[in-house]
Chain A
């Protein structure tokens, strides 16, 4: 691990002022916020990240979960994953979020990892994590070792010729289906970013993963009120039953009235370079009967643009079946 200075800001304003001086908050940032550290410390040990300054956010009051007056929920950036997953309101009104979080990592890691940290979780692509390997995300212009390399676990949606790294987070997939908003305070004031716009596709700049700018501090995440009569599910398929990243996952929130789908929110995990909301699948479901044939059409639509690599062609069908199965389970009579 490279040497760094530890900065302990007394409030958010100071944290923002300090980090506003960095050139970037994307890969290679010289100043980094640290909270749980479960991603950052790991990557610093690998020298994938080499910040010269760490700004400790753990003492800032960013750890509240509160109900909003209109019925939604606000989740502090520093809320630990385990506290979020086990919160009674989350379990009751946003079960898909609780299920997604509890399907990822382990108790120890969930006790440490935070809401904002999980939004910014880095890919598990082995070429990104190994500085001896080429990786356009870690070192722009060095090439992508994963294309034609060990790419079994990597993305099939949203890829580019420069990067096929998967977004590894389960929480993000549920947040995408729940249409969460990310609230940011920065040097120019406060703003709210819909989660669909928060992560960016790799394109020609895979080192850039989010729309965050220097000095931007995620303060909280808000969820809209739960949809009336909706049922939800997070289904995760992986090589092991526990402590493993998704090969394919589906977060589904569906309302069925008189046998017809009246509302659907679909997001896929383990297959996209970002948390993959599928408006195409939602459109196929809207107004249709809740039958397997319809679910299959929705799954075909969701994976229509899939670009499998040399080792992960199986993910196309796996993701389809994952979504179909999730939809079947969630629309079964109670």
Chain B
């Protein structure tokens, strides 16, 4: 879907497209586009035309866009977006907060977990337009590399990830868990974290990281 945002706010420092400063993201996306063009350029056009035909309800013009005001990580954004835009797509594609991940896009994996008014919810199963007036917090608002949230630090210390794709969702759930009626045992942490799938299987270390923050002890890698 084309980006229809007319965001009033731009990221304060956007160095990602500057020459010689490629991030992993920009490098991979350029690589992806280059290889796609090389191999499947004509096919993309055909596919685009076909999807126009299949979905007559789909409009590529911004005429259906609606104004939506969101507050994310303490900043206010005024946007015009398609009403279909999920909160996850809005965060990633319109506000360029790409820390929240799209795993299954059907509420089954937890990679998109964010905090809404301090509680964890799935941003893929909610429309951005339903969150006016809510205080939305993403992993970017939780901490930054130079000033990590204790849970982020514990995940690093405990080696609580492998590929890292589920990690932001895991951490958002883990931080929310600290305020939830979760019992002290590992089994209860596992139950409270069951909505966050880790395909690499870093579960033991995830539980260890969470328990170290809950107990206020120095985090240690388990196993």
Residues of A within 8 A of B (CB): 1-6, 34, 37-38, 41-42, 45, 50, 54, 56, 58, 82, 86, 105-109, 111-112, 241-243
Contacts and interface: CB of A to CB of B under 8 A. Distances in A.
A44 B116 CA distance: 22
B180 A45 contact: no
B55 A2 contact: yes
Contacts of B127: 6, 34, 37, 41, 54
A86 B180 CA distance: 10
A45 B57 CA distance: 14
Dominant secondary structure at the B interface: mixed
A107 B86 contact: no
A30 to B, nearest CB: 12
A107 B66 contact: no
B190 interface: yes
Given A6-B83, A38-B125, A106-B110, A111 B59 contact: no
B126 A37 contact: yes
Interface residues of B, number: 35
B126 A107 contact: no
Given A112-B121, A112-B125, 5 more contacts: A6-B129, A38-B107, A45-B106, A108-B173, A242-B194
Interface of B: 55, 57-59, 64, 66, 82-84, 86, 105-107, 110, 113, 116, 119-122, 125-127, 129-130, 173, 176-177, 180-181, 190-192, 194-195
Contacts of B176: 107
B130 A107 contact: no
Given A5-B83, A54-B83, A108-B110, A41 B126 contact: yes
A242 B191 contact: yes
Contact of A6 (B58, B66, B119, B122): B66
Contacts of B190: 242
A111 B107 CA distance: 13
B195 A243 contact: yes
A37 B130 contact: yes
B106 A34 contact: no
